[in-house]
């Protein structure tokens, strides 16, 4: 499911705060949020975007011919466990891996001061049975962490903006 325009606009704005930023999107889909993110990036910023669906990623690739974007067609679980490159300034986690799964591995890839963004945190019509409880538990887990500061927005599909902070 493509992110809505509010999410896109917010991503673009936050990305614009990161000069020469390194951005990670987990869940490219057909590239809607990718296009907003790219629009907020300066010329020296780079985006890595990961999806396991080659058909969707091809749509994104065709519509976004931009040398600043690295399209990675891979399983997000495997990619997160294997990645050993530079950390990121902003992560938009829009797939199960990076959000409900492998969160520790994902937040480890974020720089202190970096943004971790998720949407679809308010009840959605397409949520399968049991997902509401999963979302509630995930939000509680985020709220209890000492290494992030977060704001929950009762806006759009329910966006959470978290910033990684240093812990002693």
Ligand X SMILES: C[S@@+](CC[C@H](N)C(=O)[O-])C[C@H]1O[C@@H](n2cnc3c(N)ncnc32)[C@H](O)[C@@H]1O
Between 101 and 147, CB nearer to ligand X: 101
Q: Smallest distance from the beta carbon of 45 to ligand X, in angstroms?
A: 18
Strand-pairing partners, residue 151, are: 161
Q: Smallest distance from the beta carbon of 102 to ligand X, in angstroms?
A: 10
Between 40 and 76, CB nearer to ligand X: 76
Buried b or exposed e, range 65-103, using 16+ CB within 10 angstroms? eeeebebbbeebbebbeebeeeebbbbbbbbebbbbebb
Q: Which stretch binds ligand X (CB under 6 A): 75-83, 121-129, 132-140, 142-150?
A: 75-83
- Site for ligand X contains 50 (CB under 6 A): yes
Binding mask 51-70 for ligand X (x = CB under 6 A): xxx--x--------------
Between 105 and 147, CB nearer to ligand X: 105
- Site for ligand X contains 15 (CB under 6 A): no
Judged by DSSP in three states, 138 sits in helix
Give me 138's structure tokens: 């995930």
Q: Smallest distance from the beta carbon of 97 to ligand X, in angstroms?
A: 5
Residue 127 is classified by DSSP as P
Please give the residues from 79 up to 98 whose contact with ligand X meets the rule CB under 6 A.
94-97
**CB within 8 A of 123, min separation 6: which ones?**
132, 135, 158
Please give the residues from 106 up to 165 whose contact with ligand X meets the rule CB under 6 A.
none
Chain mean position to CA 124: 18
Q: Smallest distance from the beta carbon of 113 to ligand X, in angstroms?
A: 23
Q: How far is CA 80 from CA 36, 99, 126, 143, in A?
A: 23, 11, 26, 23
Q: Which residues in this chain contact ligand X in the complex, by CB under 6 A? A: 1-3, 27, 29-30, 32-33, 50-53, 56, 75-77, 94-97
């Amino acid at each position: 499911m493509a992110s809505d325009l509010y999410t896109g606009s917010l991503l673009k704005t936050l990305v614009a705060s990161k000069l020469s930023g390194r951005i990670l999107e987990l869940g490219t889909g057909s590239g809607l949020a990718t296009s907003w993110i790219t629009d907020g990036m300066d010329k020296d910023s780079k985006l890595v975007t990961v999806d396991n669906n080659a058909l969707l990623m091809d749509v994104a690739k065709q519509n976004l011919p931009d040398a600043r974007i690295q399209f990675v067609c891979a399983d997000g679980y495997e990619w997160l466990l294997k990645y050993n490159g530079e950390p990121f300034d902003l992560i938009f986690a829009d797939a199960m891996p990076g959000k409900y799964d492998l969160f520790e591995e994902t937040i480890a890839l974020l720089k202190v001061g970096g943004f971790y963004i998720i949407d679809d945190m308010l009840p959605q019509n397409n949520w399968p049975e049991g997902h509401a409880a999963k979302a509630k538990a995930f939000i509680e887990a985020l709220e209890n962490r000492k290494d992030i500061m977060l704001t929950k927005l009762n806006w759009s599909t329910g966006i959470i903006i978290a910033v990684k902070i240093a812990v002693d």
